[in-house]
Amino acid sequence: MKVQDKVIVITGAGGGIGGELVAALLNAGAKVAAVDLKEESLQALRQKLNGGDRLTTHVLSITDKDAVAALPEAVLQAQGQVDGLINCAGIIQPFVKVNDLEYDAIDRVMQVNFYGTLYMTKAFLPHLLARPEAYVMNVSSMGGFLPVPGQSVYGASKAAVKLLTEGLYAELLHTNVHVSVVFPGATATDISANSGVGAPAGANAEQQKFPMLSPAAAAKIIVAGMQKNKPQIFTGKDSRLMNKLYRLSPVRATKLITKQMQSLLG
């Protein structure tokens, strides 16, 4: 879908990949409804980008089903139409094994990553189906197709996003709505801090060993994939490589990622 003059709703727009997606789409001629939990993050985004009336901001929690249900009308009033939805908001879990993970952390990760994505999709899909051409894009993770020790529940939530999106792709195949799932690899964002999770010991060393993609570079890849209607979009060499390796040899891929994560888990 060519994004020029299209209205795209983006969750997690206050920073990271979401914030860079707002910038990239505005630069490509789109209009954006930026959604985030933190009002201050959206205010900073607006000051940084100076999007004028092509950028509207909407503060809400995507885990609030009633607030999400009311969002399409607010976007329609502000922008006049809605042509696309990018579910980018997400959080990680503490870097601990399942045996040590608290239930409240499990609930929070599933609520934000899976149910938030589902609520947004359900709320906007009827409006998107009414458009001549529209788009749903959900951001999963490399951890959504590859087991990552210390992020097992996060991975489960992103695997749920993956299959939800692939199911939507099948259901909407003969409609006007394009569907994509995004698998980011390691990206230099503040997701740990935004998730209320401290970076594990040894994280800096791991980052130097395995260079991270910048959020701007990831956003550029995602928007390019969107404009080509790609069903699957991989950002980062690690995501593309591990996808191939996991398909060829799941056990080998699992052992490799376990070895890489060992120093983070202790």
- Choosing from 103, 115, 135, 154, the catalytic residue is 154
Residue that has been written with the tokens 């509207």 in this structure: 56
To the query of whether residue 115 is one of the catalytic residues in this protein, the response is: no
What's the rounded Cα separation, in Å, for the pair 160 and 140? 8
**Which distant-in-sequence residues (6+ apart) come within 8 Å of 133 by Cβ?**
1, 83, 176, 178
Contacts of 265 by beta carbon, 8 Å cutoff, 6+ apart: 95, 96, 97, 149, 150, 200
Nearest in space to 85 (alpha carbons), one of 179, 182, 187? 179
Residues that are catalytic: 154
